[in-house]
Structure 1
Amino acid sequence: MKAPESVSLPGGAGYTLPVNWYPADSASGAVVLMAALGMGARFYLPLAKALQAAGLNVALLEQRGHGESPWRPSRSCDWGFREPLVNEIPVALDWVKSRSARLPVYLMGHSLGGHYSAMASGVYGGQIDGIILAACGSPWLGGFTGATRSKLKFLCAMIPPASSILGYYPGDKLGFGGREARTLMQDWLALAKTNRYQANGFSDDLDCGIAQYSGPVLSLRMADDAFAPPASVEAVVEKFITATVSNVVLDEQMLGDRADHFRWARSPTATVQQIVHWHVKQQSGKE
């Protein structure tokens, strides 16, 4: 396989977006890959390498505020859903397209990265050949029951005061996410309460945009994922009213590992097989 490259792209307002680029031999497509809340890009190296080995170029984006990102959230350093959506994703898409001439380019995200992918489909749909949602469920309280719902309600109650006092959200202390920007968590909280996307400072109706996206969508749900149970995943998928959605459930036997919110990315063989199968199906349908 070709050696990965480290690239820096302009992310708006003085921010520099770190990207790990994994070019495939004889690539048949490309994937722009985004991380879950609180996760740095390094966690997804096994997944990126497996996708590369399967013949897909991969641009692994660093999440703002984590890993190799040059910024960390504080009272004076803040952002929300808007900044990745407006400043990072379109730049990454353009760059990947310049390195993947005439190849289909898919936007893929894990959890929060999946939400970014969904929102982007309604804004940049013409530039995206497909959306891949991995372990991506809405934090909407209506999608949960029992102990997990109670934990989410507590978390929702803690986000505003903690963020106000500290100037950022202390997820590393509260046990959900990492140290996150306060506006990002305000946007996340709105989703948890209403199951509608909002991005502070972005006026377009994001859910309306998603409803108009007509490309293919692959939703990969993990069978034992407490953070993205069936109703939570459906709350995201049902937003794609005109898209062609393929739903796949991966269990422990298929993965060879726990089918939870995170382990699938460390044992990515079965996940990559599903992505490649879906990718081939999309391309054969165009011939």
Structure 2
Amino acid sequence: MSDAPIPARAALLWLPALGVPARKYERLGAALAARGIALGVHEWRGTGAHPARPSRRDDWGYRELLLEDIPATCSALSAAHPGVPLLYGGHSIGAQFAVLAAALHGGAEGLVAVGSGVPHWRLFPGPLRWLVGAFGHVLPPLTRAVGSYPGHRLGFAGREAGQLMRDWSQTVRRGHYDGLPGLPERLGERIAALELPFLGLRLAEDRLVPAASLRALVAATSTRSASEGVLHAEHLGVAADHFAWMREPRAVADAIAGWWPGGRGGLSS
């Protein structure tokens, strides 16, 4: 298939993985444009071209990202592509935010998750379960002591806002999104009210997102039109891990384009 763009039949709001700048999804955007889906990639506060940088004095969490930043990107994408269905999706934590944004603001006609799921420690297998659980408990005191999260030194994500990581660690410990500071109460009930077509794609070698994690994210909604698929190295042409697919995203673009419209499709496991 040519990578030349064709008229958009949907617009996909794309929320990146933690610490990943928007430019890393340019290849995905080109592949989707060639399949009739316009991609609008959000730049996380504190990442890439965004001017803010986290510190003890400049801090933010889920509240700012969900109530201030994401709606602005969504409005810009809608204005750029009027009259076409709007989808919310993302990679890793980005897909969690896509579900949360849909629950809070509405406007989405479908949800897409790639390499994502509820990061509850109990959903991870074997020794990794205890490592993830311990990490979720260490993050609050660590980020308060340092003033931000030094992911560039720890090898997980980048330098992130302290409150952002404390909010994330709450879901790691509890397995749900209720009680996040500054967000509406009973957020889980809003998520459970979502009845949107949902495409969930898991990478076969992705140790960061076990199958149970993705299924928990889908199950948090009330969708009756869920499609789950597993991407293997032979589909991708690169390792089927959490990040390598971004270099060769055509299989992901094929799965998304084959799923929409209709809410069915994707790949078999």
TM-score (structure 2 length as normaliser) = 0.91
* Paired residues of 1:252 and 1:259 also in contact (CA < 8 A): yes
Distance 2:185 2:94 in 1: 20
Tell me what 2:19 maps to. 38
What residue identity is the alignment partner of 2:29?
Answer: A
**2:160 maps to which of 161, 180, 193:** 180
Offset at 1:203?
Answer: 2.3
Q: Secondary structure at the match of 1:280?
A: coil
**1:104 maps to which of 67, 80, 85:** 85
Q: Secondary structure at the match of 2:55?
A: coil
What residue identity is the alignment partner of 1:99?
Answer: A
Distance 1:280 1:229 in 2: 27
Tell me what 1:162 maps to. 142
Tell me what 1:261 maps to. 242
Structure with greater proportional strand content: 1
Matches within 5 A, 1:12-51: 24-51=5-32
Matches within 5 A, 1:212-231: 212-231=193-212
**2:109 maps to which of 124, 129, 150:** 129
Offset at 1:224?
Answer: 1.2
Distance 1:140 1:219, change over 3 A: same
What residue identity is the alignment partner of 2:121?
Answer: L
Distance 2:101 2:181 in 1: 15
**1:61 maps to which of 32, 42, 45:** 42
* Paired residues of 1:134 and 1:221 also in contact (CA < 8 A): yes
Task: Note if 1:171 corresponds to 2:147.
Answer: no
Offset at 1:119?
Answer: 0.6
Q: Secondary structure at the match of 2:199?
A: strand
Tell me what 1:19 maps to. none
Tell me what 2:260 maps to. 279
What residue identity is the alignment partner of 1:70?
Answer: P
* Paired residues of 1:137 and 1:227 also in contact (CA < 8 A): no
* Paired residues of 1:129 and 1:215 also in contact (CA < 8 A): yes
Offset at 1:282?
Answer: 4.4
Distance 1:46 1:242, change over 3 A: closer
Distance 2:215 2:177 in 1: 15
Offset at 1:24?
Answer: 4.3
What residue identity is the alignment partner of 2:162?
Answer: R
Offset at 1:94?
Answer: 2.0
Offset at 1:242?
Answer: 3.7
Between the aligned residues of both structures, percent identity stands at 35
Q: Secondary structure at the match of 1:164?
A: helix
- Larger deviation, residues 218-227 vs 89-98: 89-98
* Paired residues of 1:37 and 1:111 also in contact (CA < 8 A): yes
Tell me what 1:189 maps to. 169
Tell me what 1:90 maps to. 71
- Larger deviation, residues 81-90 vs 105-114: 81-90
What residue identity is the alignment partner of 2:24?
Answer: F
Q: Secondary structure at the match of 1:226?
A: coil
After TM superposition, where is structure 1 displaced by more than 6 Å over at least 4 residues in a row?
A: none
Distance 2:137 2:97 in 1: 24
Offset at 1:153?
Answer: 2.9
Distance 2:236 2:211 in 1: 18
Q: Secondary structure at the match of 1:139?
A: coil
Distance 1:85 1:243 in 2: 25
Structure 1 portions without partners, runs of 5+: 1-22
* Paired residues of 2:227 and 2:263 also in contact (CA < 8 A): no
Matches within 5 A, 1:240-251: 240-251=221-232
Tell me what 1:119 maps to. 100
Over aligned residues, Cα RMSD in angstroms?
1.7
How many correspondences in the alignment? Answer: 260
Tell me what 1:236 maps to. 217
Structure 2 portions without partners, runs of 5+: 265-269
What residue identity is the alignment partner of 1:184?
Answer: L
Task: Note if 1:72 corresponds to 2:81.
Answer: no
Q: Secondary structure at the match of 2:261?
A: helix
